[in-house]
Amino acid sequence: MLGVVKFLGTKTGMAAIGGSLVTLLVAWGLHSGVVGIMKMRHANELRMQKETLIEQFEKQKKVTEEVSNEYQKQITNLNSRVATLRSVRPTQCIVPASTPTDGHNAGTSGSGHAGQNGVTTSALYEYAGDAERYRIQLTSCQTFIRNTWHALKQ
């Protein structure tokens, strides 16, 4: 131990300590630089991933808005057509061709849409309007799925 202390007290010992410190500082600097570069790359990758996700979200939002707006227009148009049909045409009863007098339907009363002598035209218009609403919903869902699939492929 005493020999080491004597060696460190010499010029050669001091040069060795200085060289070791320089080597240590250079290694620490290189390590810090590599870690800094890795952090920058990671931050850049996260930023790019965030931008990609935001871009995909915006595409999906646009597709959803377009399909929703078209669907709302179609439903509004349908509602006004059904209302016009109900108000313009007089309510008439459509008499069934024959009434059940025996069998399993003999004791049942008509549905809420039926009048005394048959089905009213306004009930038929309402039924047709409901059927058309379901068709519009179905086609809007299909359009949404198609557009979403197309947007994801791009």
The pTM score is 0.52
The answer to whether residue 7 scores a pLDDT higher than 60 is no
Tell me how many domains the chain contains: 1
Max mean pLDDT range (17-26, 54-63, 86-95, 145-154)? 54-63
Residue 88 domain-assigned? yes
Residue 20 domain-assigned? yes
Residue 101 domain-assigned? no
Residue 100 domain-assigned? no
Q: Do 147 and 66 touch, CB atoms closer than 8 A?
A: yes
d(CA 114, CA 99): 13
**pLDDT tens-place string over residues 134-145:** 999 999 999 989
d(CA 13, CA 4): 9
Residue 15 domain-assigned? yes
Structure tokens of 87? Answer: 């108000």
Strands, E assignment, the chain: 93-94, 119-120
Q: Print the domain residue range for 88.
A: 2-94+111-153
pLDDT value, residue 137: 92
pLDDT, mean of residues 21-30: 78
Residue 134 domain-assigned? yes
Structure tokens of 3? Answer: 């020999």
pLDDT value, residue 99: 54
CB within 8 Å of 70: residues ≥ 6 apart: 140, 143
Report the Cα 100 to chain-centroid distance in Å.
52
Residue 106 domain-assigned? no
Residue 49 domain-assigned? yes
**pLDDT tens-place string over residues 86-119:** 777 666 666 665 555 545 554 445 455 555 566 7
